[in-house]
Structure 1
Amino acid sequence: MAEVLKKNSVKNSSDDAVPGRRIQILCQPCSRKDLKTTADVFCSQCDEFQCSECSKAHTVYAFRKIHKLVNATDMKGMASCEQHEKLLEYFCEDENQLCCSTCAIVDHRKCHSVVEVPKTAGKSRYAGSHLKRKLEEAKSKAEMIVSHTESSKEQLSKDIKSIFIEIKRMRGDMNKMFDDLDVYVTRETDAFQAEVTNKLAQKRSSCEKHISDATKLLEIVDTALENGTPSQQFIVKEKLKRQANELYRNVENDCQNLEFATVNFKFDGTIILPPFNISGYVPGELTLNYTLPEAKKSVAAVDPITKLKKITSIDLKQAGNNVKEPLYTGLDFLPDGRLFAVDNKNNKCLIYNEKLEKVGSYQLSYSPQSVVAISEEEVAITSSGKYQIDFLRVSKSNDITLIRTCKVKAQNESICLKDERHFAVGTIDDTRPVRIVSMSGEEKHFNVNFPNKKYSVGTSACNYIRNTEKMILTDRHEHTVYIYDVATNTRVVVKDKQIKEPRGVAVGPSDCILVCSMRTDSIVQISQTGQIISSYKLAMKFPFRVCVSRDKSIVAVTNCCDGIKRLLLFKITGSE
């Protein structure tokens, strides 16, 4: 190591090196004369970098003429130490590492074999050619990859273009299929309509004759009753008795056989793609038939059973500034998962997080009845004592403020969304137990034949299945759940021993119906066709209100049992 240091003292000095400056290769003979001249060539036999002047000795002295001179190569900064910005003059064979004079002194002092670069370079004469071959091979492969990426990109564009060409072709085939379908359905329905129209015309003509005959006979009877003697009245009665009975039987027979013509089209679950002849295949089933009003179709339940797993629960007790024991008559989830509740007894609105921790509240001046979440930060609440619907803003920080009040014509209890702009609202003491109310307060009736019955507070609740236009109405005292099909003005009546005093109702997974059965302490799951699917026993008495989160994953239930009121949260773990 001492020899290395000694030689370093007579080599080119790099003490004036400045960080970031490329090290200049100096002529070594000139350096020994304290001159700093840029080297032009390198002589491997002399083991020196020389300038053009010093290298002339190779042309003067015969023994030097056999020396091989090469141009001094610009190493592009690779000949300098990255740490000390000095020339890399040594190679540590122990650690297989290039080093400058400072590295040799500081970092490799204890190493046994630190040699000058020219000496170790001679031992690996062919290393450079091997390195060159490896780099050329790497370059060639990289160029091949670049070429591959270009061809792959072009092929991808072609493949994508071919997909859209195929889609265009399929669209044309599908359009032709539906054009042919239009022709087919038009032909069949026109023929059916003509047949029905003819039958209806015959039915009408027959009944108009019955009306005419009845009118004539009524005139005779009226004349006899008003002006005839008892004997004349008796004669008329006996003479016309047979005709009246026959007329009555004919009309009654027509009435009993009163038919409704229906037309519907239901697509197959799987449509066979063209090409094919529409006469040989229709992508669905066209049904043309007559049905009597009393006819009922039995449909097997296909709804999956909803399973509930308890997450948490809290007891609802009189506390703080509550005047009375709480009674939550309305529940609904906000889209972000927070639960909004209305306390009928203490005139309050409350917000709970996913752990049923109360995070917000708002004091009202009246007793609220129900609530529905309209959007991310807006809810609507009803009241049995006021003819109005209030709209409240619920901020992300759980602040509640009144936005506006909408006046209505009836007292309202339950409320739910019918569509994006309308509510379905359960009324109180009204022959129309459910009404449609717009966001601005405009009211109209459902096209549904409700029973002529009024419901007082707490005896009925409603909800609406938007996907199938079905309205659910509970009748507490009749132990009945009604499922109205708004589109067809038909209904299904659900009565079962598992349903006793049904109260609140919600729409669950797969648009099933979840009903609070108060006297059986359970949540009953019903299909839209009225089939009882399952019944889940609750750890509470008299379940009263139920709601389901927007993503159909969480269920909240509360009850109305004096002294033991609770709020339960369940996770829908799946279906079977």
Structure 2
Amino acid sequence: MELLVSVDIKQTGDDLHEPFLSGLDFLPDGRLVAVDNNNLKCIMMNDRLQLLGTPYKFNIYPYDVVCLSQCELAVTTLSKKVCLLSVSSDNVISLTRQINTSTCVFSICCMTPTTMVVSTYDAPRPVRMITHGGVESDFDRVLFNKKTYKFEESKCTFVPSKNTLVLTDRDAHTVYMLDTVKGTSRAVTHDNIQEPIGACVGPGDSVLVCSMAKNSIVHLTVDGDILCTYHVDMRSPYTLCMKNDGSRFVVSGCKNGMKKLMMYKLS
């Protein structure tokens, strides 16, 4: 793993608070999208992690972001809403519409071109599916543990080619690998998996997970085998995303006064 770019996340301009980049994703053209939870913003960056255009300003707290296409984003927010945003080639971000959800939603990722997967909190089911039209459904074949997660206790991602749902359990120091077709599940624990939170699909249909308490990224297969552990030069890595071609990933931390955004190359 090679560090390409590192930036300190500082309060600047019209920021009322220290920025907290709680969600990240790459557009297909390589631009990076981030949501700043503390300052209610959606921002665009280039491959040097430099700001592009003018940030979009929310009127509610944003949590996570996923790129649905070349020009469309979905952002989970407070108040049981998913905001659909459009982004132009010259980095103008605008609100298209909002989806009202029946439960509180937190992390978000793509399952298919028309279906998103969201993690929930204060809800009986920790993960749900939502279509672009706002239709909600459950993973009926998946047996989740009987646990209601609180805010920031769990996130999810989905590996489409393996039909695998990945669910992190921060307090239990566990990553669950759930086969949504067979209905099987595997609980992955390891000394290097401590306070796991953000997760994303890695190269070759693998999974990358932020291990907050270990200041590292754990690289796993969907079968739960640990391939490698990468130490990152930041405190409490919180969220991450990988470029579509698997060439690089970006991770941000959540430690107050020490927040960083770092881009790495994987070989």
TM-score bracket, normalised by the shorter chain, equals over 0.9
Question: In the aligned structure 2, how far is the partner of 1:536 from the partner of 1:420?
Answer: 31
Is 1:444 aligned to 2:137, yes or no? yes
Equivalent position amino acid for 1:491 in 2: S
* Counterpart secondary structure, 1:567: strand
2:228 corresponds in structure 1 to 534
Is 1:427 aligned to 2:139, yes or no? no
2:31 corresponds in structure 1 to 338
Question: In the aligned structure 1, how far is the partner of 2:144 from the partner of 2:230?
Answer: 30
1:402 to 92, 95, 103: 95
Question: In the aligned structure 2, how far is the partner of 1:403 from the partner of 1:569?
Answer: 30
1:568 corresponds in structure 2 to 262
1:386 to 65, 76, 79: 79
Equivalent position amino acid for 2:19 in 1: P
2:58 corresponds in structure 1 to 364
Equivalent position amino acid for 1:426 in 2: S
* Counterpart secondary structure, 1:467: helix
Structure 2: segments with no counterpart, 5+ residues: none
* Counterpart secondary structure, 2:162: coil
More strand by share: 2
1:416 corresponds in structure 2 to 109
Equivalent position amino acid for 1:373 in 2: C
Question: In the aligned structure 2, how far is the partner of 1:437 from the partner of 1:403?
Answer: 17
Shift of 1:507: 0.5
Question: In the aligned structure 1, how far is the partner of 2:256 from the partner of 2:99?
Answer: 33
User: Which digits, 9 at most, give the CA deviation of each residue in 1:414-435, with x for residues without a partner?
Assistant: 0000111111110111120000
2:71 corresponds in structure 1 to 377
Equivalent position amino acid for 2:91 in 1: N
* Counterpart secondary structure, 1:510: helix
1:298 corresponds in structure 2 to none
Equivalent position amino acid for 1:463 in 2: T
1:483 corresponds in structure 2 to 177
Aligned length: 265
Question: In the aligned structure 2, how far is the partner of 1:365 from the partner of 1:427?
Answer: 21
Is 1:523 aligned to 2:217, yes or no? yes
Is 1:545 aligned to 2:242, yes or no? no
Question: In the aligned structure 2, how far is the partner of 1:449 from the partner of 1:413?
Answer: 20
Question: In the aligned structure 2, how far is the partner of 1:456 from the partner of 1:352?
Answer: 31
Shift of 1:313: 1.1
Shift of 1:523: 0.4
TM-score (norm 2): 0.98
Question: In the aligned structure 2, how far is the partner of 1:381 from the partner of 1:309?
Answer: 30
Shift of 1:406: 1.3
Question: In the aligned structure 2, how far is the partner of 1:450 from the partner of 1:499?
Answer: 20
Relative contact order, higher structure (CA 8 A, sep 6+): 2
Structure 1: segments with no counterpart, 5+ residues: 1-307
Question: In the aligned structure 2, how far is the partner of 1:345 from the partner of 1:558?
Answer: 14
1:29 corresponds in structure 2 to none
TM-score (norm 1): 0.46
Equivalent position amino acid for 1:469 in 2: N
* Counterpart secondary structure, 2:213: helix
Shift of 1:446: 0.4
* Greater than 3 Å deviation, 4+ residue runs: none
Question: In the aligned structure 2, how far is the partner of 1:491 from the partner of 1:528?
Answer: 10
More helix by share: 1
Identity %: 38
Shift of 1:495: 0.4
Shift of 1:528: 1.1
1:506 to 200, 205, 208: 200
Is 1:348 aligned to 2:41, yes or no? yes
Question: In the aligned structure 2, how far is the partner of 1:430 from the partner of 1:328?
Answer: 25
Is 1:492 aligned to 2:186, yes or no? yes
Question: In the aligned structure 1, how far is the partner of 2:138 from the partner of 2:197?
Answer: 23
